[in-house]
């Protein structure tokens, strides 16, 4: 299963007139089985994820709030640009980048390896980490 770290920002008009543009940054994990995003409004889960070559879509679900549908299209520069909407949520624009990662990248405490080793080996499999060397000098 393909797994990605997702980073992005959504923008929308907010507040009573005169309204103002607002931007919210988010980050999270997404794969064909679902995922999660976190932003200033809290943690949300992703369902109905479709990861196509040119289009991705998913439903974002905050606990106790309305579901929001996201649809993004691959741009020439490798970013994803699209819109989001909900039944009672005013729609807006969203821009994101997806970075392919191993599912283990998101483990809080990887089993059997320290976090730095896991990340380096996952992102750079050709990397060889030397064991730490300690000096016998007490200076």
pLDDT of amino acid 133: 47
- Which whole-number Å values give the CA distances from 40 to 10, 18, 27, 32, 95, in the listed order? 12, 23, 10, 25, 16
Is 130 a domain residue? no
Is 12 a domain residue? yes
CATH no. for residue 88? 2.40.128
- Which whole-number Å values give the CA distances from 99 to 7, 8, 64, 102, 119, in the listed order? 8, 11, 29, 10, 13
Structure confidence at residue 127 as a pLDDT band (50, 70, 90) = very low
β-bridge partners, 72: 56, 82
Phi, psi of 122 (to 5 degrees): -70, -45
Is 63 a domain residue? yes
As a whole number of angstroms, the distance between CA 7 and CA 50 comes to 17
* DSSP state letter for 43: E
Is 115 a domain residue? no
CB atoms within 10 A of CB 128: 7
Residue 24 pLDDT exceeds 90? yes
Is 138 a domain residue? no
As a whole number of angstroms, the distance between CA 101 and CA 37 comes to 16
Domain extent for 19: 3-102
State how many domains the chain has.
1
Residue 62 pLDDT exceeds 60? yes
Quote the radius of gyration of the chain (alpha carbons, Å): 19
Residue 13 pLDDT exceeds 80? yes
Lowest mean pLDDT among 85-89, 93-97, 131-135: 131-135
Question: Average pLDDT of the chain?
Answer: 83
- Cβ-contact 12, 92 below 8 angstroms: yes
């Amino acid at each position: 299963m393909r797994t990605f770290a997702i980073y992005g920002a959504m923008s929308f008009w907010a507040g009573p007139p005169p309204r103002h543009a607002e931007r919210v940054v988010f980050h999270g994990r997404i794969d064909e089985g679902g995922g999660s995003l976190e932003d200033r409004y809290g943690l949300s889960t992703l369902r109905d994820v479709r990861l196509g070559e040119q289009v991705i879509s998913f439903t974002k679900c905050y606990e106790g709030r309305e579901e929001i549908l996201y649809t993004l299209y691959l741009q020439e520069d490798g970013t994803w640009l699209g819109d989001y909407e909900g039944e009672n949520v005013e729609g807006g624009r969203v821009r994101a980048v997806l970075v392919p990662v191993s599912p283990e990248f998101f483990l809080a405490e990887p089993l059997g390896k320290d976090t730095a080793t896991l990340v380096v080996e996952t992102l750079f499999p050709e990397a060889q980490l030397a064991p730490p060397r300690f000096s016998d000098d007490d200076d």
